[in-house]
Chains A and B, each alone.
Chain A
Amino acid sequence: MFPYLRLGPFILPMASLVFLAGLWLGLPLIEREAARLKINASMLSNIIFYSLLAGLVGARLGYALEFPNIYLAKPLSLLALTPTTLSPSMGFSVSLITFVIFIQRKGLPLRPTLDALAPGLALFMVFVGFAHILSGDAYGAPTNVPWAIRLWNEYRHPSQFYETFLALTILLVIHERFPKPEGAGLNFLLTIALSSASRVFLESFRGDSIFWPGGFREAQVIALVIMAISFYWIRKWMNAHSTGNIKPHERGGIHVKR
């Protein structure tokens, strides 16, 4: 594990740097896929950038809303460079809403646009695994298996390595021409479904799970629900593709609205 990088007086968390590397390498993949699907790649790239920016602002505001009196007393603290004062759920929601609004306003076709995101998203998940390897987060449950690693004073499942391996496998399935369900939007849904399935499987080996009554792991249940929703939409879009029942704005093609 190598959680921090010291550069003179600065101490940089490696996980954050790896996330940035994941974004930096994922964007060209998205642009390439967008071009292949005949979507305006630079427009999509800009939309992703604005969505991430909006997500960052939303994450900070979401955190501040949890402590309104403190932030109202010193509003300039909203600009502080402290990654632990972000609300991930709020950031994700704002980012998603911004993305949807932008692609609708710019007239990009929903399903092919989602497909264009798939390889970049799959690659980013690999970097999430790398980040966990470096930081030691998402650590495994204590175990006696021969391949256990010594981490945080105990022998544990190398859950970060399992996670990275599965993410690489998903990237391979998504990026290469493996047999997949046919139809616009299905590559994206398959990425979500496979990532959720991976979390359902791997969560059992994690040592940092949050438990619900009955001993169910929170992340596992949520991933299972996302997996079920993805399968539902895969079936629906697969059938729409077979019957040709797709609305014009959801099909691929060159779409430019200025």
Chain B
Amino acid sequence: MTESNLPPRKRRWEILMLVSLAAGVLWTVVSRVPSAVDAPLSTSPSPREGFLAPDFTLDTLDGTKVTLSELRGKIVLINLWATWCPPCRAEMPALENAYKQYKDSGVVVLGLNVTNQDSEKDIPPFVDEFGLTFPILLDRDGSVSALYQLKGLPTTYFVNREGIIRTVVVGGPMNETFIRSKIEALLQELP
């Protein structure tokens, strides 16, 4: 049997496939969005990958204030933690090492203590114990934890230079290799 002599049923399948393919091409062309090229996935803030990191201003342990949006142009790691949380303790050395290694490349680590679920007096000994040099932020009323819809501790957000969240890690502990690979990926993004 030659291809030109196919039974009607097979011919119907061929026609159906051709029509489906043509419809697919047409739909792809009709549904394209030229204005979306090079635009961020979403300009609305939300604590998830592909969205702008919700903005906040918090006091640091040494009494200054840090506003996230003022760090635009830098790569920011926001690590939500508490002194009583074992995986938070476990990943602190890795965060500190990554901060020391990359701070001159425009990387900022914000250690955001969930102070409303912690004891403020326990924070300075914790910082001394691990020799932390990155800014420690105090979320005293839990408003930033709520803004970031905190699901569990620790949680870390890797934010690129445009303020877009690229990776969210809920739970831990993260190891140094993991943190470095995520930072390197953000550094490789074109400014």
With A10-B171, A181-B10, A234-B13 known as contacts, the answer to whether A67 contacts B42 (CB < 8 A) is: no
Which A141-167 residues have C-beta < 8 A from chain B? 152-154
Contact A77 B51 (CB under 8 A): no
Contact A4 B37 (CB under 8 A): no
Query: Taking the complex as formed, is B31 at the interface, i.e. its CB lies under 8 A from any CB of chain A?
Result: yes
Query: Taking the complex as formed, is A187 at the interface, i.e. its CB lies under 8 A from any CB of chain B?
Result: no
With A84-B169, A153-B46, A154-B44 known as contacts, the answer to whether A74 contacts B28 (CB < 8 A) is: no
B5 to chain A, nearest CB (A): 9
Query: Of all chain A residues, which has the CB nearest B33?
Result: A215
Query: Taking the complex as formed, is A6 at the interface, i.e. its CB lies under 8 A from any CB of chain B?
Result: yes
Contact B181 A66 (CB under 8 A): yes
Residue-by-residue, is A48-89 near B (CB-CB < 8 Å gives 1, otherwise 0)? Answer: 000000000000000100110011011001001010110000
Contact B14 A74 (CB under 8 A): no
Query: Taking the complex as formed, is A212 at the interface, i.e. its CB lies under 8 A from any CB of chain B?
Result: yes
With A211-B37, A234-B13 known as contacts, the answer to whether A201 contacts B20 (CB < 8 A) is: no
Cα A224 to Cα B46 with chains together (Å): 31
B interface, size bucket: 35 or more
Residues of B within 8 A of A201 (CB): 24, 27
Residues of B within 8 A of A32 (CB): none
Cα A61 to Cα B54 with chains together (Å): 34
Name the segment of A37-45, A92-100, A238-246 touching the other chain: A238-246
Contact A80 B177 (CB under 8 A): yes
Cα A11 to Cα B150 with chains together (Å): 12
Residues of A within 8 A of B20 (CB): 193, 197, 227, 231
Number of A-B residue pairs, CB cutoff 8 Å, is 133
With A181-B13, A211-B36, A227-B24 known as contacts, the answer to whether A152 contacts B180 (CB < 8 A) is: no
Contact A74 B33 (CB under 8 A): no
Query: Of all chain A residues, which has the CB nearest B167?
Result: A84
Contact B180 A224 (CB under 8 A): no
Residue-by-residue, is B22-46 near A (CB-CB < 8 Å gives 1, otherwise 0)? Answer: 0011011001111111110110111
A50 to chain B, nearest CB (A): 27
Contact A63 B21 (CB under 8 A): no
A215 to chain B, nearest CB (A): 4
Query: Taking the complex as formed, is A228 at the interface, i.e. its CB lies under 8 A from any CB of chain B?
Result: yes
Contact A70 B32 (CB under 8 A): no
Query: Taking the complex as formed, is A207 at the interface, i.e. its CB lies under 8 A from any CB of chain B?
Result: yes
Cα A66 to Cα B7 with chains together (Å): 52
Contact A63 B27 (CB under 8 A): no
9 contacts between A and B (CB under 8 A): A4-B171, A6-B152, A11-B170, A13-B170, A70-B184, A200-B24, A200-B28, A231-B17, A231-B20
